[in-house]
Chains A and B, each alone.
Chain A
């Protein structure tokens, strides 16, 4: 990582004061979302949705104490292949790589 040329002038306490409540709310949103997924009916015996699996793995990154969390979460939710695909499967993206062969 490059040396910081424009460091954040705020102290650690300033940062927490400024952003804690906003991110407390975002954390509760994630908790509520996971509860909502649990409450929703399952169609047959489907396995956990790949997006939820990725989200759970990302949650582990947040608390592993290693830093550089945003980049690592984005990497975890990135296609790591390097070959061009034969045909574009539509135009959209779903936020994390679908399981191979799913056509998602």
Chain B
């Protein structure tokens, strides 16, 4: 089977993970800019991170026949100091020119604070001015439902079209609101927090596959870079059609990401 993992942080993964993903059928990935597990001490730290996302990761992925794309921003976990965040954001225009950059992400909220919202709104304005696709991070655990609603309201105050925005990390208490408002929704498959492959299959059974995708969000924490193929096995085990599986794990990512001419699914 061929699949796309549309949200994975390969800077935190080993080369062996690339090999296993390729063996499992992964042909393309997209890597949003996010927190590295520690706060970077200077804008220069982000400059180097953006170089890693646009130079070294695409080359590393290509060794396994995987097309690597990325999203750039200052993530909400490092947005509590607006002055610092704005300095980092001033780096974005030059990097947006690079050939594997699909848009702005993963922006959003983490603890639903005022400063996080200020920086989120500035990213949304930046994306609006440059007609960029947007990938949104929603908060964790008890903060998710509140943050998801606040983020969708902030987007509604812009001219960004909902079908050019993907709201990620949805679960059973947020997926309906996200889809009802016309956004794309991403299910993140994590061992403990967020969705499991079984619950993602349940959500597909309840809501269908329209504007819905899944990803591993594999990173430096407890996560699984093979979570998407595991969800494929789960759907297959239940007897779902090849078409349903292909829609959720290949065609839907292609439809959303293909809104950028830079996206190459690599499945031809």
B117 at the interface (CB under 8 A from A): yes
Contacts of B207 in A (CB 8 A): 2, 4-5
Are B208 and A6 in touch, CB under 8 angstroms?
A: yes
B interface secondary structure, majority: helix
Are B112 and A93 in touch, CB under 8 angstroms?
A: no
Contacts of A71 in B (CB 8 A): 172-173
How big is chain B's contact interface, by range? Answer: 35 or more
- Segment 215-245 of B: residues with Cβ below 8 Å from A: 237-240, 244
Q: How far is the CB of A18 from chain B (nearest CB, A)?
A: 7
How many Cβ-Cβ contacts under 8 Å join chain A to chain B?
109
Q: At the interface with chain B, which of A27-35, A56-64, A75-83?
A: A75-83
Are B142 and A2 in touch, CB under 8 angstroms?
A: no
Q: Which residue of A lies closest to B173 (CB)?
A: A74
Instruction: Identify A9's interface contact among B112, B146, B149, B238, CB under 8 A.
Output: B238
Determine the distance from Cα of A1 to Cα of B237 in the docked complex, in whole angstroms: 25
Task: Please tell me the number of chain A residues within 8 Å of chain B, measured between CB atoms.
Answer: 35
- Segment 168-183 of B: residues with Cβ below 8 Å from A: 171-173, 176, 179
Known: A2-B206, A5-B209. A77 touches B113 (CB 8 A): no
Contacts of B115 in A (CB 8 A): 87-88
B144 at the interface (CB under 8 A from A): yes
Determine the distance from Cα of A9 to Cα of B35 in the docked complex, in whole angstroms: 40
7 A-B contact pairs sorted by A residue (CB < 8 Å): A4-B206, A8-B238, A70-B199, A78-B144, A79-B143, A87-B114, A93-B142
Identify 6 new A-B residue pairs, CB closer than 8 A, beyond the known A2-B206, A5-B210: A6-B205, A6-B208, A70-B171, A74-B173, A88-B113, A91-B77
